[in-house]
Amino acid sequence: MSTDVFIAGLAALSFIALLIYVVTAVPRERNLRDDRERQSSSLARGGRSQ
């Protein structure tokens, strides 16, 4: 019985962790894309910082 509760709790925690990862994945990808664009635009201006 206690093993079943442990497995169910572990599954619930894994599901919550997966939800957090999925919800934060979109902003993380957007931030990475913005950083790459900012870096390439600074290189196009001769490497001067903003």
- Gyration radius of the chain over CA positions: 21
Q: Is the pLDDT at 50 greater than 70, yes or no?
A: no
Q: What are phi and psi of 24, to 5 degrees?
A: -90, -5
* pLDDT tens figures, 6-37: 999 999 999 999 999 988 876 666 767 776 77
Residue 34, Cα to own-chain centre: how many angstroms? 14
Is the pTM higher than 0.85? The answer reads no
pLDDT at 49: 53
Q: Are 49 and 42 in contact (CB under 8 A)?
A: yes
pLDDT at 28: 65
pLDDT at 24: 84
Query: Region 30-45: what's the mean pLDDT?
Result: 66
